[in-house]
Amino acid sequence: MLKIYNTLSGKKEVFKPIVEGKVGMYVCGNTVYDFCHIGHARAMISFDIISRFIRHLGYDLNYVRNITDVDDKIIKRAQENNETTQSLTERMIAAQQEDELKLGNKMPDREPKATEFMQEIITMIQTLVEKGFAYQGASGDVYYRATAFAEYGKLNNRKLDEMLAGARIDVEASKEHPADFVLWKQAKSGEVSWESPWGAGRPGWHIECSAMSTNCLGSHFDIHGGGPDLKFPHHENEIAQSEAATGKEYVNYWMHCGAVRVNNEKMSKSLGNFFTVRDVLAKFNPEVVRYLMVSSQYRSAIDYSDQSLHEAKVALERLYTALRGQTLVSSYEATDFTVRFEAAMKDDFNTAVAVSVLFELVRELNKAKAEAPEKAAALATELKSLAELLGLLYQDPEYFLQNSTIVEGLSEEAIQALIDERTQARKDKNFARSDEIRDELDSKGIELLDSREGTTWTRN
């Protein structure tokens, strides 16, 4: 029985899909004006794991994640770069997909772009205007009338006036109320625009997701997800727009992943603690980054630091060491480890507990290696199978253990050449040279592991 924490109700609920056996899930994607940062990685990995497990339970999942490819930030960055918005967004979309694949994610079933749904966006705004939920202000922009939606604030469990207190909301003369938000913006000179009943312009951010989600999944669907900063105003506004336009309940389960903090501080460019995925992958194996994200339950905040990544690397190396040189089998009988792993995942996708089960399995596997090879092979296969649901342990163990940290220094070829020289030195009983090579490699962070089968290495 799958339970999901629903932001709307503020509690865990038993998951019941609208259509038996089928699940529609929409996740707010990125505004593609720059490279993805580690906060984006948290959301992308969280919902990748959620999608994997929903499918594992046998549901036919339709996973949709949008791309915002028209926005103030995009226009500003394109102007700064002296390029078109299309050129900028195409580059950033390609970069995002490259980052995601490196992090071990599977792509969503569909990634709609806002610019592909312009007519649907305009149609939804027209419906809101006709129903009295939207109006064109003196500036020419079209606004949503927040006071017309009686349930505005239900996602955040706050009333309209409470949400306004202390909030940074633009107060424009053409607005009827400070909480009203823009649905359609009049184009400025030189900006990308589309024709509409209210003049040439482009949509506001919130309406894009309402139009894309309802057109891809229907006016009422199962799950809507996103980052922690989207609860207000973005998702609150999505509910108001969508339910006012369709007259139906919008989403049954709202899911929000936790924030990423850097050394216990909010990640911010102004604080100098802002890291893109590419910054991080220049230093660490992508699976180490993924493990850091997976080791906490998706709603928990994560503290990012070099130390936390080092700890993630050490933990992941323990899992891979258990698989090193281990035979696998084509089929196995699931043990209590699988039962407990699945129970953790059914409890609001609690990956932290699921990972702890993997380490218990590793202890059992290591004990079985010497005494019961057949049992060890079955346990190793079970470990690989369960880890796959988290997107882990997909690399060759030997390769991972040699590349878990990306550092400046010796290439793999140079390391192997020194190992071969050391092997020959030992055969020649030149132990002084053998020790010199070991010490040289150790000083560069390379640890040698001698066994009957030969010498292997890992980065220390």
> Binding site for ATP: residue ranges?
269
- Collapsing DSSP to helix, strand or coil, 14 comes out as strand
Q: How far is CA 262 from CA 18, 42, 168, 274, 275, in A?
A: 39, 13, 24, 8, 9
Q: How far is CA 229 from CA 12, 40, 226, 259, in A?
A: 20, 11, 8, 8
Q: Which of 47, 31, 18, 30 is nearest to 256 (CA)?
A: 47
Pairing label, strands 446-451, 454-459: antiparallel
Q: Which residue ranges make up the annotated binding site for Zn(2+)?
A: 28, 209, 234, 238
Q: What is the H or E stretch that residue 392 is in? A: none
- Residue 453: partners with Cβ closer than 8 Å, 6 or more residues away: 325
What is the C-alpha separation between 86 and 69, in angstroms, rounded?
A: 8
Q: How far is CA 77 from CA 89, 94, 118, 274, 293, in A?
A: 10, 17, 22, 18, 29
Pairing label, strands 260-262, 302-304: parallel
Q: Which of 3, 41, 16, 31 is nearest to 276 (CA)?
A: 41
Q: Which residue ranges make up the annotated binding site?
A: 28, 209, 234, 238, 269
Prior bond of 233 cis (ω within 30°): yes
What is the C-alpha separation between 363 and 429, in angstroms, rounded?
A: 38
* Alpha helices (runs of H) in 110-182, residue ranges in sequence order: 118-130, 160-164
What is the C-alpha separation between 445 and 458, in angstroms, rounded?
A: 8
User: Following DSSP, what letter does each residue of 16-73 receive, concatenated?
Assistant: --SBTTEEEEEE---B-SS--BHHHHHHHHHHHHHHHHHHHTT-EEEEEE-BB--SHH
